[in-house]
Amino acid sequence: MLVAANRDEFHERPTRALAEWIDAPGVFAGRDAVAGGTWMGATRSARFALVTNYREPGVPIPPDAPSRGALVARFLQGADTPEDYLRQLATDMHRYAGFNLVVGDAQAVWYVSNRGPAARRLSPGRYALSNHLLDSPWPKSVATQARIDTVLAQAGTPDDDALFSALRNRDVAHDDALPSTGLSLERERLLSSAFIISPTYGTRASTLYALSDDGYARYVERRYDATGEPIGEQAKVWHASV
C-alpha cells in the first residue's frame, strides 16, 4: 500500500513535524499545534488515516464545530476496526465542517465524507482525493494520479524523490477545467495546482506512507516554506505489528 499526499494550510498555523507522539506512543504523525489533531498519520500496528477538507466556501462553519484533525487522531489512538469506527462516527458527522476521511489497517481501508453517500470499503486499486468527493476528476487529482502512475510503472521500489517530484507539480489548470466551488477565479487558479505557493497559504508538507506485504512501514515527510523551498525532512521506519 502506498499513500502520497500534500498538506495545504495557512502558513501562520503552527505545526509540529512528523514524530512519534509522546502522549500516544506508537502513533507517528505531524501535528496541528492549535487543535492537537493531525491531517494524516500511521501507527506501529499498521493503522493509518487521513483527512481533507471539503471545499464549500459559502457554507458557514459552526463556532462549536470539532477540529477535523481529531477524526484522524482518534482513529489512530483507538482499536476499532475501520468499519466500526466509521459506523460509530455516522451519528456525529454533522457536527463537523465538510470533510473526507480515509481510515485503514492491514485488513481493510474505508472512506467516508459528510458531504457524500454512506461509508464504503475501498477495493484494491488506486484512488485520488482532493477537496471534493473521492475520485472527483479535479485537474490536480487527475494530473497527480497520472504522474504517480508513471513513477510506479518503473521497475523496482518507487523512488522517494520521484514521488515527491510528482507531488510538486505546479501546473495551473485551464480556466475551462477549473471546478466551480464558489471561490473567485483567481483563487480557483491558485488552488488548481497540486503544489501551491503563495505568501499566506500553500503546500506545507508532502508525505509518503508505504506498508509492504511483509509488514514493513515507511513514513517520510518533507516540509516547505512559503516560497515552496524544502525546510526539513523526517523519516520513520518500523515493522508493523498486526
- Cell 501562520 belongs to which residue? 12
Helix (H, G, I), strand (E, B) or coil at 71: helix
DSSP letter string, 101-166: EEEE-SS-EEEEETTSSS-EEPPSS----SSSSTT---HHHHHHHHHHHHHHTSSSSPPHHHHHHH
Residue at 39: amino acid letter: W
Provide the CATH number for the domain around residue 60: 3.60.60.10
Look up the domain containing 84 and give its range: 2-239
Write down the pLDDT at residue 60: 87
Write down the pLDDT at residue 155: 74
Instruction: Give 20-34 pLDDT, tens digit per residue.
Output: 999 999 999 999 999
Cβ atoms 191, 132 nearer than 8 A: no
| Chain-centre distance for alpha carbon 94 | 21
Q: How many domains does the chain have?
A: 1
Average pLDDT for 56-74: 92
The DSSP 8-state label assigned to residue 58 in this structure reads T
Task: Please tell me whether the overall predicted TM-score, pTM, comes out greater than 0.85 for this model.
Answer: yes
Average pLDDT over the chain, rounded to an integer: 95
Instruction: Give 78-120 pLDDT, tens digit per residue.
Output: 999 999 999 999 999 999 999 999 999 999 999 999 999 999 9
